[in-house]
Structure formats: C-alpha cells, structure tokens
Amino acid sequence: MAPAYISRPAIALAPHKVLTEEIVNDIKAHHPTHPRIRTIPRHITRSAVGTRYFSHPLHSPYVGGAADPTIGITERTAQAYADAVDMAEAAARQLLDDQGVAPEEVDVLITSHSVSGGRLPGIDIPLADRLGLRPDVCRMPFSVVACAGGALAMARTADMLAARPDATVLSVVSEPLSTTYSHADHEISHMIFKGLFGDAAAAFLGTSTRPTTPSLRIDASFEYRLPTSAAAYFTRPDAAGVHFDSTAASLTAVKECLPKLTEWVRDWKTDIPIIHTGSPGIITATAHALGLDDQAARHSHNSLEQIGNVGGSAALDILARTHDAPPADGANVTVVAYGPGFYMAACRGVWCA
C-alpha cells in the first residue's frame, strides 16, 4: 500500500478577535435575570479559552447582537456558508503557495464543513471554482462530521492515496462556529459553547511521495461510533438560525470511547498526541489514555487557550503547532478527534523530519 504523507497545514483564522471577558460581559448583558448568572462566568473560564476569532464582531446580528427581524435562519446560514468558503479559500491558497503546488496539480479535493444548515452544494464546489482546480478533480465533501473533520480528512487522504498513489490530495476544513452563538439559548451548556467556539479554516496536502519538508506519515486509522449516542451533541435549526445542543449523554461520551482507543492503539507508544480541543478535560483524559500527561499534550491545550475550539480545524492547528516545535525523526504521532452525536476518528503515524 502506498504511504500517505501529510504536509504542514495552513491555518486561516477569522478576522475578529474576541476575549473571554467580552463573552462573559455579553452574556451578563443579555441574561441579567438568569438564575445562575453568578456562576456562568466560572463555567466559561473553566473552558480555558482566552481568545477566539469570529467571522463578525461579537455584537453583529450574525453573532450575539440585538435581534434583527430581517435576519433569520436563511440569512444567517447563508452568511455562515459564505464565511466558510472565504476562510477555506484563504487557507487553501496559503497552503498551495507554501507548498509550491499549482491548482491544476490537485487531483482530489476533500472538504469538511457543518454549520450552514445543510446548504447545497457544499463548500467544495465554490472552493474548486475559486482556486481554479481542474473540472475533473475528484471530490469528497463531508458535511456532518464537524469536530472530527480534520482527523477524518487525514484518514480519508490515506485511503485515497492507497487507491490512487500518484494523486495530490488537497484537504480543507472550514468551520464558522460563531453562527451557533445565540442569546435565545439559556442552558449552562449553551453558555459554555458561547465561550468555547471559534472560527477557522485549515488545509493540508497529502501525497504518497515523501516531501522534502517535514511531514506526518499516516500508517493506520480508526473510527468508532458510540452506540445510541445521536442525542449527545447535535444541531437544532429554527427560525433564528442553527443552534448547537447537547444532553447529559455528552458528559460521559469520551470516557466511553477511550477503552476502544486504547484497544486499537495496543502496544503503540505515542510520543506526540494531537487531541481535539473539546475541553481541557477531554484533552487530559485522552492524553492519559495514550499514556501521556498534559505536558505532552501542550500543543492541544495551547490551541484551545489561544483560538478556542475551532471544530474540525483544531487537529490541523495542533499539527501546525507541532511543526513549530518538531519532534525527532521517527517519533510516533497519534491523532484523536471527536464529533457528534458521538463519534471518534483517530490516526497514527510517524513524524518524518
């Protein structure tokens, strides 16, 4: 089987930096009589996010601004779709430039995007047009894997290269999660999500030929769907927009998946973990399952603190941070990400310096 080498990802952050203090003040202003208003700031700060980036200012009607009767789900999801395409293009263009690859050299386009209310076509069609990809490029668009998108894109890149070893695979993940920020949502979980999520896109190239620059070689992948977990995390559309919800089932979902992860890993010794930034607890629990501590998972914790949970782009941001402080050649790398209802996608491979 042909090897699969993953390039250094390019990251495109949304333009508007938002501090956690601003989120807390915004919630206080919009929910002054909430029965738990005194404890909400503590719940938000426990997420450990210091800053995140939104596609629009916090007080825009497309995020947390005053309700605008002219902006409902149609307008809000259309704007989220446009934001996703813009970020995806920025990340992909930067990547192609960094890697010295012309658009016409791309043979396969994998995309992941999940918060535009099921809009068709997916972001792959306008993205291919904007980048100038060939009309015969093979497309693999994901629209429901959300936070698992980056890890799954790595896995599918390896699958595609096994079938088409001469292909150049471009993968792009773009998630404007701030579109789910809504003051119509009152549960504590909603308040946490307001402080947790950020907007970003990320892109990488996959080839079966080892690049001259450092890369991650993917050797194996694993996926696990937690049975009867459809209500753990899910989106809920209504007239105002798309909302992100969870139930009590979400609180134990990671713990229930980790035995399957350790069973798959077996005697594989992970040196470098790339763990989805769902929360500090998720990062720590996953690191411990891999036999590692928080210091080993520092790039995941730093990503969460500095840009928030950016969905499927998170794993790729952490991979980019690993390039900034690269391990030794031959280090073992394990990638783990989680998506709704509850689903785990993982890859393992070797660092190629």
Question: What confidence tens digit (pLDDT) does each residue in 21-38 have?
Answer: 999 999 999 999 999 999
The one-letter amino acid code at 85 reads V
Mean pLDDT of 159-167: 97
Arithmetic mean of pLDDT, 166-193 = 95
User: Do 334 and 78 form a contact (C-beta atoms < 8 A)?
Assistant: no
CA nearest to 174, candidates 107, 247, 249, 112: 112
Only one residue has tokens 């939104």, namely: 54
| Residue 203 sits in the same domain as residue 219 | no
Same domain for 54 and 158, yes or no, is: yes
Judge residue 298's burial from the number of C-beta atoms within 10 Å of its C-beta, 0-12 exposed, 13-18 middle, 19 or more buried: middle
Residues 99 and 56 in one domain: yes
Q: Are residues 183 and 267 in the same domain?
A: no
Domain stops at, among 152, 184, 207: 207
150 or 68, higher pLDDT:
150
Is the domain of 290 the same as that of 149? no
Q: Are 152 and 254 members of one domain?
A: no
* Per-residue pLDDT, 67: 62
pLDDT in tens, 43-96: 999 999 999 999 999 999 999 766 677 788 889 999 999 999 999 999 999 999
Summary mean pLDDT of the chain: 95
* Residue-level pLDDT at 65: 66
Question: Per DSSP, what are the bridge partners of residue 4?
Answer: 218
What is the average pLDDT across 314-322? 98
Torsions phi, psi for 45 (to 5 deg): -65, -25
Bridge partners, 225 (sequence order):
343
Residue 38 pLDDT: 93
Q: Is residue 245 domain-shared with residue 316, that is, in the same domain?
A: yes
Supply the pLDDT for residue 71: 85
324 within 8 A of 302, measured Cβ to Cβ = no
Give the range of the structural domain holding residue 263, as residue numbers without chain letter.
Answer: 215-352
Q: Model confidence over 203-254: pLDDT tens digits?
A: 999 999 999 999 999 999 999 999 999 999 999 999 888 999 999 999 999 9
Give the integer Cα–Cα distance in Å for 277 and 147.
Answer: 9
As a whole number, mean pLDDT of residues 127-155 equals 97
Among 207, 229, 244, residue at a domain's last position? 207
Q: Domain check: are 101 and 190 in the same one?
A: yes
Q: With bands split at pLDDT 50, 70 and 90, how would you rate the model's confidence at 120?
A: confident
Last residue in a domain, options 207, 226, 260 = 207
Residue count of the chain: 353
**Quick one: pLDDT band at residue 15, thresholds 50, 70, 90?**
very high
Q: What is the pLDDT of residues 92-119, one digit of tens each?
A: 999 999 999 999 999 999 999 998 777 8
Same domain? 174 vs 201: yes
Number of domains in the chain: 2
Task: Kindly state the average pLDDT of the residues 126-135.
Answer: 98
Give residue-wise pLDDT tens across range 282-308: 999 999 999 999 999 999 999 999 999
Q: What is the CATH number of the domain that holds 316?
A: 3.40.47.10
